Amino acid sequence: MAAAVSETVQRFTAETLKAASKQSKGCYVVPLRLRRAIKNYIRDQEDQHMKRNVSRLSESFNAIKDANLQLTASTARELIEDPLKYVGCSQRWKIKSNYGDIGLKYRDDQTIAYVASRMPAVFSACHRVLTEVKRRLPNFEPTRVLDFGAGTGSAFWALREVWPNVTKSVNLIEPSQSMQRAGLSLIKDLKNLPDIQSYGSIQSLSQNLKNRKDGKKNRKHNLVIASYVLGEIPSFKDRITIVRQLWDLTEDVLVLMEPGTPHGSDIISQARSHILWMEKRRSRKLAKSSNQGSKDIMTEKCGAHIVAPCPHDGVCPLDNSGKYCHFVQRLQRTTSQLAYKQSNGIPLRGFEDEKFSYVVFRRGPRPSEAWPLDGMKFDTLKEQRDKMNPEDFESDYDDQIDSEPEDIFDDKKMIKYESDINEPYFTSESDAEEETSQETTRADLGSGWGRIIFSPIKRGKRVEMDVCRATNNEGTEGCFERVIVTKSKNPTLHHQARRSLWGDLWPF
């Protein structure tokens, strides 16, 4: 499968292009240490009603989804002010603060149910997103981290898996005492923990930092993450305030994640537009200002760009399209998930698909890079065949067999679930190996890398993909289009397209 690469610009070969584009992961296996920690934690709780608790927690998440659906269909002021009002009437537990209701409360029974049923899936989604951050920003090291709405620490666990022994300090913001206790209990056997401080709110973190000598320095975290929490904050206004506060506490990278639902995707999209708008306005103001007093601010990185999933910083092309931006991570169900999820008598599948929406911001302007296909030349199938030696025909035949329709999300091909004690065949170590082999080639942050935003349609010698892409070199504008790749026109890219999955990058 040889691509003729220009002699002058040799940024990629067919193989390195493929490796750099890959961001999706196959079926993820939650690491043994986390599965063990969850198992031990649940055992220590001696809760007789786990199945019922898990089912109630799941019902309450569904009730929030329903309330949010009402919200999209309604313009009623009271619903916009507080979409959880209706849920509140039916037993959802709000956190009261000086500012009113600011989120949902997790008591012990909900916390235990969360650890057993949701944490493995949320952890897997966090792991997927942070792995991409590591690949796209190879020189970035999250030394000072803030985890907002940390819950039982799914993001913290993912952080340690992706960057082992790098993080020096972690500030956790978590209003639920029960979640805080569970999080601490889960990490009690881990070694080389960073300095961890827990706070109940952003205000108490800020207050504490104000009172400390090194407060100013410690106010800035080079990684801030908020996973699956913004959707629990009732009003749009409060959510945006929190997003602004989180951005203010971010020195370098901010990661926001939500469930992959229309509402979750909306929240991400609103946060995206707001931060980009704020930073554009700030850059304009600073550029205009000749005042030397603003020098201090000028030393801070000005502007913001999106590291992932968006290949551009323009208006989201999916806004008002009736589609919503989300991705999926498949994971092998852990024993706790298998034990406590309701299955109505039907055996549960060994895996589940966690859908999530996310955005990763970085301070500073988007780096300007050549587009990945610039300088590459591709033969058509006919040209490729004309150049072949007789012995190459055999590998061409292999390639044809290899390119029969395939779908990694095919049930029959799934790795069978094994117990938590026997480490399954598909380990996170093998993931790590795969990552090391890909480390040398990575997709840069230039605007030439589009994103495959739904499952590609693969039919014989033709692949159709929905791709979100930049429409200019600066990445200030973008669009969403269907890309069709055929084997006859470009066998190299067709080969890559056949192996591409939802969430992978697509080069232009």
Q: Give residues in contact with ligand SAM (CB under 6 A).
A: 95, 102-104, 106, 119, 122, 148-151, 154-155, 173-176, 179, 227-229, 232-233
Cβ nearer to ligand SAM, comparing 102 with 254: 102
Give min distance, CB of 480 to ligand SAM, in A: 28
- Please name which of 252, 305, 253, 299 lies closest in space to residue 275, comparing C-alpha atoms: 305
Q: How far is the CB of 27 from ligand SAM (least distance, A)?
A: 20
| Tokens standing for residue 189 | 């056997």
- Cβ-based neighbour number of residue 43 at 10 Å: 8
Are 499 and 408 in contact by the 8 Å Cβ rule? The answer is no
Q: At CB < 8 A and 24+ separation, what contacts does 8-12 make?
A: 8/375, 9/370, 9/374, 9/375, 9/376, 10/375, 11/370, 11/372, 11/374, 11/375, 11/376, 12/372, 12/376, 12/441, 12/507
State whether residue 222 is helix, strand or coil. Answer: strand
For residue 474, the minimal CB distance to ligand SAM (Å) is 34
Closest CB to ligand SAM among 102 and 465? Answer: 102
Q: Are 192 and 165 in contact (CB under 8 A)?
A: yes
Asked whether the bond before 309 is cis by omega within 30 degrees of 0, the reply is yes
Q: Please state, in angstroms and rounded to a whole number, the distance separating the CA atoms of residues 230 and 57.
A: 18
User: Closest distance between ligand SAM and the C-beta of residue 151, in Å?
Assistant: 2
Indicate the residue whose CB is closest to ligand SAM. Answer: 103
Kindly tell me which of 183 and 311 has the beta carbon lying closer to ligand SAM: 183
Q: How far is the CB of 243 from ligand SAM (least distance, A)?
A: 12
Minimum Å gap between C-beta 440 and ligand SAM is 32
For ligand SAM, the closer of residues 94 and 487 by Cβ is 94
Minimum CB distance to ligand SAM smaller for 71 or for 150: 150
Taking the CB of residue 491, how many other CB atoms lie within 10 A of it? 27
Based on the number of CB atoms within 10 Å of its own CB, is 326 exposed (0-12), middle (13-18) or buried (19 or more)?
A: buried
Which C-beta is closer to ligand SAM: that of 227 or that of 441?
227
What is the Cα 354 distance to its own chain's centre?
11
Q: If you count DSSP H runs as helices and E runs as strands, how many of each does the chain have, helices first?
A: 19, 17
Residue among 41 and 228 whose Cβ is closer to ligand SAM: 228
Residue 154 or 265 with smaller CB distance to ligand SAM: 154
Report the nearest approach of ligand SAM to the CB of residue 45 (Å): 17
DSSP 426: S
Report, in Å, the least distance between residue 124 CB and ligand SAM: 11
Minimal distance, residue 349 CB to ligand SAM, in Å: 22
Q: Which is nearer to ligand SAM, 223 or 229 (CB)?
A: 229
H/E segment holding residue 173: strand 169-173
